[in-house]
Structure 1
């Protein structure tokens, strides 16, 4: 396992950074917000807690929760337009800084692609860098299930996405950032994991993560410190 020093060095020199979305890039758990909007909030929130704590496989939790919610296309569109997700403080600046350093930024979510694409557009992340679950609807707009062929619909799906990215692009320094057990389990194949507790604290992640942060400003400071050192080197050497 990498030391804190090694992990910080890896982050400063990363060629790809993958973010979880719910309770990391955004303040909410998207599926919980959809459940509340559809009138089954309490039951679904309990399932989410069990899934994020690692006591229930992701695919089983997703299937159970969606069977309760059964969202229509209209409900989903209304949720996004009337109650758009709130970006976590500092994430916009962090993504912009990573882009300036030519770091590839990906969003890997067990949530729903329509919501995650909305978030990606606000962060100037190309939609080709979005991996999330697709809901299916009948012609009349009623819920028809979800696409079970998506990697993100599987247990361990985030790790499978990261393995695919590394094979496709040859990333050698890829960092995963997230709040939940499914994010931590994606390392390996991710080369490093940073736990995030700024919106929700998952005790298992807090206890086991070598680097655990509660504010994205900490990562921004790492990058700014790195830029300062590079400027010094350019001046004196």
Structure 2
């Protein structure tokens, strides 16, 4: 199938880290928060049950978000730049669709040549001195089914869309008619392996290219 639009998850797909978990590690809250993240990614808890709870525990300020942005770049998955460059060279429109924090993902998107308008993630809100105030609670990506909503919106303009990701929330894109490429190069999740249209376990993201071109 010829895809017009390719959407990528960020955490454990473009970068080896789970961003919110790493912010928790920085605050000495890793085990508590990672257990919540895993439960959501494995389909044991709905995302909305864990999203606000994790951020209220961590309360990331502007400096923490800048730290995470650099970590995403430092821990970029093998082959990501080559994969995105190849897709762009073939005229594909690339989007990042993530339940992560948008301000932390934007520098990675910029490095990959993905326009800011094509980054769909959850905005963090700060006060005048950069302290945590909250997050965009009405973002579709902070609740279950959000990735399907974003993909439906994109498919209004483009018929053929593929989603590449590692977690249960990425499988939601199938509800919007997306072709789901499961990426297990960082974390293998049995539910995703079973339900994705295809699944790759190589550590390099370039393994997804044969399914997208």
Is 1:61 the equivalent of 2:61? Answer: no
- Aligned positions of 1:23-62 closer than 5 A: 23-62=12-51
Q: Could you tell me which residue of structure 2 aligns to residue 192 of structure 1?
A: 179
Q: Could you tell me which residue of structure 2 aligns to residue 176 of structure 1?
A: 163
Distance 1:95 1:79, change over 3 A: closer
Aligned residues: 211
- Alpha-carbon distance, 1:82 to partner: 6.8
Distance 1:14 1:65, change over 3 A: same
CA distance, structure 1, for counterparts of residue 70 and residue 79 of structure 2: 23
CA distance, structure 1, for counterparts of residue 152 and residue 169 of structure 2: 14
TM-score normalised per structure 2? 0.92
SS in 1 for 2:174: coil
Q: Could you tell me which residue of structure 2 aligns to residue 124 of structure 1?
A: 113
SS in 1 for 2:133: strand
Is 1:20 the equivalent of 2:5? Answer: no
- Alpha-carbon distance, 1:190 to partner: 3.5
- Alpha-carbon distance, 1:55 to partner: 1.1
Is 1:110 the equivalent of 2:104? Answer: no
Asked whether the 8 Å contact 1:85–1:119 carries over to 2, the reply is: no
Q: Could you tell me which residue of structure 2 aligns to residue 205 of structure 1?
A: 192
Q: Could you tell me which residue of structure 2 aligns to residue 149 of structure 1?
A: 138
CA distance, structure 1, for counterparts of residue 94 and residue 72 of structure 2: 25
CA distance, structure 2, for counterparts of residue 111 and residue 155 of structure 1: 13
- Alpha-carbon distance, 1:221 to partner: 4.5
TM-score normalised per structure 1? 0.83
CA distance, structure 1, for counterparts of residue 173 and residue 211 of structure 2: 23
- Alpha-carbon distance, 1:34 to partner: 0.9
Asked whether the 8 Å contact 2:183–2:201 carries over to 1, the reply is: yes
CA distance, structure 1, for counterparts of residue 74 and residue 100 of structure 2: 12
Asked whether the 8 Å contact 1:17–1:177 carries over to 2, the reply is: yes
SS in 1 for 2:96: strand
CA distance, structure 2, for counterparts of residue 200 and residue 82 of structure 1: 18
Deviates more, 1:143-152 or 1:77-86: 77-86
Asked whether the 8 Å contact 2:15–2:72 carries over to 1, the reply is: no
